[in-house]
Structure 1
Amino acid sequence: MTPSKINLMSTYVLLVLIWATTPLAIIWSVTDLHSLWALALRFFIALPLSIVLLLIVRAKFPINAQSLHSYLAGACSFIGSQFFTYLAATYLSSGIIALMFGLAPIITGLIGYFVFHIHLRRMQWLGMLIAVTGLGIICLGGSEHQVKPLGIGLMLLSVFIYCASIFWVKKIGAPLEPMAQATGSIMVSSLFAACMLPFIWSYAPTEMPGLRSLIGLSYSVVMASLVAMFCYFKLVQNIQPATLSLTTVLTPILALVVGAILNDEKITMMVLLGAAVLLSGLFAYFYQDFKASRALAHKMKTD
């Protein structure tokens, strides 16, 4: 049964809100916890919840070689990418983290061009150039507290691994249900997190974290790791890719506002200018897709 337009719109809005607030949840979760302990706890808590959901929806969970390979590839977008995001959380504001993840489609396009020889249009190259210019403005104009080059570098690594993981999963092509793929990837991520513990054991929490850290950790587990996943795959199956890609432009804008209101993050005029330029680059990158999507929607209405 195809979901109604109101249902899909509600799902879309919920996904944008979750993705816009997840960077702030990460920032809050590391307030009283070592960044890598916060990351490990996120997967340790998400694992049993994902298994319960897997049982509730009665999704098949294959353990053949192809499926295990796909779980490993998916884990790269989970713990592989998030490892660097959590390290960057001590150097960047939540809005800048969201803005960096907005570069994911551009980095995906570059990987596709150089590795898989996927054609890129001139407008897409122009969009990339504009976006990189915006990123440069942010690096030069950010305050010392908000934008540090090391944090930018860590986030670029995070986004690159996230994008590479998508290609890896697609190349494997395992016929897995989204819930099975996610659960398997969380399992592998939890295993890597367990292997990480001996190296961060000296930073283990010795007392209950504060309320802000607990809220951030809980939100990142329930909303970012589980609810957002359901919303995303539901939209993938029911709306145009270009429409879904628009979240890349909407999310950073909301994240900047949310960070300023809830976390008192100061935004300089140069950062705002850089963000505007970067988002303009993203819009230029997707312009042809948006145009094609609108033309298709108009054609479907008239038919």
Structure 2
Amino acid sequence: MNSNSSPMIVTASIYALLVLIWAATPLAIVWSVAEVHSMWVLIIRYLGASILAIAILALMRNPLPFDHTSLKSYVAGSLNLIGAQLFIYLAANYLTSGLMALIFGLSPLIAGLIGHVILKTHKLVWLQWLGMAVAVGGLTFVFADSAESNVNPWGVVLMIISMISYISSIFWVKHINAPLKPMSQATGSLIISSLGSLLLVPFIWSSFPTQMPSMQALFGFGFTMILSSIVAMLCYFWLIRRLAASTVSLSNVMTPIIALILGATLNHEHISSHAVLGIGIVMFGIVMYFWKEWREQYFAQ
């Protein structure tokens, strides 16, 4: 093994870990809300993740500034956390983990549409427009047989709101452009998210958990608190500094497929043959959308 292969193996391992965490997160959410009120799960997740993040930040000796610009950036980042995740946890009561991952996999397409139509930050080419149309058509095909596919319209609406919150957070953080280290940004956003989640307590106090959840639910708690909120975040920021955006975007194709497999094998989630065809069409649309970027990155040389 030569010296050049070692960094490549490390990068590939971190990339694989990130994809697996993202793919398993919807299932972990479904498991964690099966026995405990979804909003209590959210509160516990962010309080625990905030404590862990503060400890990691101290070990890394990174600053956590509280100037006006930094605070604005933390609030913007929290829109991705407490904003997007709030609706994902609510959607978990209506959708399977695989379908949640599939819908959220369309977020880069929605971000591209917002960037083109509203923010005018970049221009979409005809293949990307076609890819969007194909992906939406495939999603419609999945939902057409909702009784067999366990697709609840309320869950779809909640996931769309979640995607809008997630995308808005990305654009807002970039617009603020605070000079923060990734871990500082993440920790500040987690703190704001945990404080924001406490505002829900008066409305859900009557649903306070009174007994110990099952091991499966506890595993879901721990997974989302440690791996989804901390480890995945560190992997993501590590990768975007070292890989092209087109390479990172490949995860949007892999994650929903792995999530569907995990949901079917570990949670006995049924996906009809009708839905499988629709899922394949969605994946093909996503590939079409990213094809120009991938071709320029890998085949233009």
The TM-score range, normalised by the shorter chain, is over 0.9
Q: How many residues align?
A: 296
**1:51 aligned to 30, 54, 72, which one?**
54
**Residues of 1 paired with 2:53 and 2:219: CA distance?**
19
- The Cα offsets for residues 173-228 of structure 1, whole Å up to 9 and x where unpaired, read as 00111100000000000111111111111111111112111110100011100000
**Residues of 1 paired with 2:93 and 2:48: CA distance?**
22
Q: Given that residues 18 and 232 in structure 2 are in contact (C-alpha distance below 8 angstroms), is that contact kept between their aligned partners in structure 1?
A: yes
**1:82 aligned to 70, 81, 85, which one?**
85
- Offset, 1:113: 1.5
Q: TM-score, normalised by structure 1?
A: 0.95
Equivalence for 2:119: 116
Q: Quick check: 1:194 aligned with 2:198?
A: yes
Report the aligned-residue RMSD: 1.2
Q: Given that residues 11 and 231 in structure 1 are in contact (C-alpha distance below 8 angstroms), is that contact kept between their aligned partners in structure 2?
A: yes
Q: Given that residues 253 and 286 in structure 2 are in contact (C-alpha distance below 8 angstroms), is that contact kept between their aligned partners in structure 1?
A: yes
- Aligned residue type for 2:199: C
**1:28 aligned to 28, 31, 34, which one?**
31
Equivalence for 1:155: 159
Q: Given that residues 148 and 272 in structure 2 are in contact (C-alpha distance below 8 angstroms), is that contact kept between their aligned partners in structure 1?
A: no
**Residues of 1 paired with 2:265 and 2:49: CA distance?**
28
- The Cα offsets for residues 133-161 of structure 1, whole Å up to 9 and x where unpaired, read as 01101111244572111101110110111
- Offset, 1:116: 1.1
Q: Quick check: 1:238 aligned with 2:242?
A: yes
**Residues of 2 paired with 1:143 and 1:158: CA distance?**
23
Q: Given that residues 143 and 268 in structure 1 are in contact (C-alpha distance below 8 angstroms), is that contact kept between their aligned partners in structure 2?
A: no
Equivalence for 1:9: 12
- Offset, 1:115: 1.8
Give unpaired runs (5+ residues) of structure 1.
none
- Aligned residue type for 2:244: Q
TM superposition outliers: structure 1 runs of 4+ over 2 Å: 141-146
**Residues of 1 paired with 2:283 and 2:149: CA distance?**
23
Q: Identity of paired residues, percent?
A: 46
- Aligned residue type for 1:74: G
Give unpaired runs (5+ residues) of structure 2.
none
**Residues of 2 paired with 1:138 and 1:176: CA distance?**
41
SS of the aligned residue for 2:118 comes to helix
